[in-house]
Every structure is written in C-alpha cells, then in structure tokens.
Chain A
Amino acid sequence: MIANYGYMDGSGEYYISIDTDKCIECASRACLQVCPSQLFEIMTDDYDDEVAAIKKDGRRSLKYLCAECKPATGRGELPCQAGCPNDAIKHSW
C-alpha cells in the first residue's frame, strides 16, 4: 500500500509516500536511523505486516520537521530517500 503523509505550507501541498509493500522484506530498516528528526517507526499494518510509518506525534508537525531537509536549503538528496535500500520512500517536493 502507498501510505501518504502530507502537510500544507505557504508554498503548496506536500506528501511523503511510503510504499509499504517494499518494507515487508526489508531487514535493514535503515529509515529508523537516517532521519535526522527520528520520524520513522515500524508498525504492524492492517494485513499484519511490519512496515515503516511516520510516528503518530510527528504527523502533525511534518511541516517543521521535514523543513530542514527540503532541497530548497541546498542539502542535496533527502536522507530518508537516500537511506532506504528498497526505494520505498518518495517525496512530492
């Protein structure tokens, strides 16, 4: 399943999408380590698979937490996207 976590700021609507089907076989779970804000967690989804998700208390503050990694700040590739070995994480910006 594609799980979308989004936020809206003055410049538009943005989404982080996690393709959770790609998480099922993942052993490294690198996403837990690479995010500077420690936003990712592993949870059991509706189909009893262990998949990556954005932590509940971070979902409402993505606007602030993701801001430091946004390409506009000249940081280059996003750490979560670069860190995921299965290419499961995408950003819409």
Chain B
Amino acid sequence: MTQEYWRWKENNWKSADKDWTKAEIVTAGIDVGSVSSQAVILADGELYAYASMRTGSNSPDSALNAITAAMEGTGLTLDKIHYIVGTGYGRVNVPFAHKAITEIACHARGANFMGGNKVRTILDMGGQDCKGIHCDEKGKVLNFLMNDKCAAGTGRGMEVMADLLSVPIAEVGPMSLEVKEDPPPVSSTCVVFAKSEAMSLLKQGWPKNKVLAAYCSAMAHRVVTLLERIGVEKEFFITGGIAKNIGVVSRIEKELGIKAIKSEYDSQIAGALGAALFGKALVEKGGKKK
C-alpha cells in the first residue's frame, strides 16, 4: 500500500496525577469537526483527558469514537459524566450530548483557558474553514468573521499539498522553512488552482521545500487578509490543526508583525476544551448533575 502522506497522527492523553473519582464535577466537550473530532474531559475544571481522532462519514460514530478514546483506561463511562456539550460542524448530531454550542463560542472559551485571559484575537484554522474571533477577558465572543467554505487556507488544503509532494504532513512546516528566501506565493483563491500551480512548479524543477514555502506563504497571506478585516490585537492566539505547522505560523507572525501567544496545550483541542468549560459553567448554574 502506498503511504498516505496527509494522514496526521491521532492522539490521546491522560493526566497522570488526577483522579476523576475524587472530582465533584466531571464534564466533557466533544468537537466534531469536518476533518477531526476531539473529546476533552475536565475534572473540576482541570484538564483530565483528551483524544483527537479523524472524523468519519458518520457524526455520531465519530463523537463516540473520540470520547471512548479519551475515556479509555480511566474507568469513566458516559453516564458518569455530569454534562456533555457538543460543538463543531457535527454538533447537532451528537446523540449523548446534553447541549450543542457553536464552535465559535467554544473556541474563544478554549483559547481563553489555553492562552490565558489576556487573549483577545483568535485565529482558528480548522479542517474546512478558518475564523477570526475577537473575545473579552472572560472568553466571550465580541465579534467574528469566517471565510467561506473553501479549502484554501485550511487544514484540508495542507493535506492535499502534502499528498501531492509526498511529504508527511508533520514535516511540511519545518521543510518549508529550509528555503533561504520565500518564493512568490502560489494562488490562494482555491486549493485546486494551488495544486495545479504547485504541480507545474515541480515540473519546472523547483525543489519540494521551495514549493511548500510558496504554498505556506499563500496560506498565511490568505488568513492574514481575513484577520485584517476584523482587526488584530497583539494578544493573539492560534487554534486548530494548522497552529502546529510552524511554516504557516511563522509566516503569519511575520506578515502581522506580532508573535502569537504560545501554549503548553494541544492547539487542536481548543473547541472541545471550550465546550467542556461551558458544561462546567452550566452544571454550576444548576444544570444537569447526576
């Protein structure tokens, strides 16, 4: 079988020193995105476990798959979680969730937790769209802007490019930074155009790292345009899978002239984390608690 270069690694993490049985409130957030699904479990508002899996063709199954991976080995079962919030594209289709909240509100809440309450501008680079979000010190959304459903400037576009160039997706970022000087960016209007442009550059004899550099700059330029429409404050945070691609992040920072706030957490879990935090707030407000 040929290698699938776009395939990013599914992962899951458990806290080594926390015990959910001792926690008063256990909540979960499930973010069913277009490409990946995440589940985050919080014990008394602290991160206890999470999992990031690929979304299949069936939303309920993907949600179950993610939460099962997060609960694996902990002895926790769905009925022991006090509140489950669903978010993301597939949020209305998570059968065991108590409530669905938009991913925009959840990302803002999650970024507020991950980057601290100083975060004001959030760029969420997801699998199928990207969003610019403004929030206040509590992580409440003030304003947001979203690109149209188009893969240019999103994770899916990066997967297409990784496959075309036969470069494992995790190596795209570092490889794109190997060039001394950035080549002119490829088309950023559409991934299909970008792909054919990249292909012709390869045929002209460009090395892979130069083509990747051209693509990463195109992607960075596209999201910077989106961000500039909404306005950028210097307390700036990037969530979503592309936040892991150093080639794109460093070019966004360069173009904006500011550095993004770094966090110890996995950038992909922001939405699910925010959903779990919403769940905790709802339990405290007198919502469901078994």
Contact = CB atoms under 8 A, between A and B. Distances in A.
B143 A2 contact: yes
Size class of the contact patch on chain B: 10 to 19
Contacts of A47: 105, 140
A46 B142 CA distance: 12
Nearest to A1: B141
B175 interface: no
B101 A1 contact: no
B245 interface: no
Contacts of A1: 140-144
B209 interface: no
Interface residues on A, range: under 10
A2 B142 contact: yes
A46 B143 contact: no
- Which interface residue of A1, A2, A4, A46 has the most chain B CB atoms within 10 A? A46
A13 B102 CA distance: 24
Interface string A1-44: 11010000000000000000000000000000000000000000
Interface string B105-119: 100000000000000
A47 B109 CA distance: 11
Nearest to A46: B105
Nearest to B134: A2
A10 to B, nearest CB: 18
Contacts of A46: 101-102, 104-105, 141, 278
A4 B131 CA distance: 13
B43 to A, nearest CB: 23
B288 to A, nearest CB: 14
Contacts of A2: 142-143
Interface string A37-62: 00000000011000000000000000
A1 B102 CA distance: 13
B163 to A, nearest CB: 33
Contacts of B142: 1-2
Most buried by B among A1, A2, A47: A1
A27 B169 CA distance: 53
Nearest to B106: A46
Interface string B153-166: 00000000000000
Contacts of B278: 46
B27 to A, nearest CB: 16
17 contacts: A1-B140, A1-B141, A1-B142, A1-B143, A1-B144, A2-B142, A2-B143, A4-B143, A4-B145, A46-B101, A46-B102, A46-B104, A46-B105, A46-B141, A46-B278, A47-B105, A47-B140
Given A1-B140, A1-B142, A4-B143, 5 more contacts: A1-B141, A2-B143, A4-B145, A46-B101, A46-B141
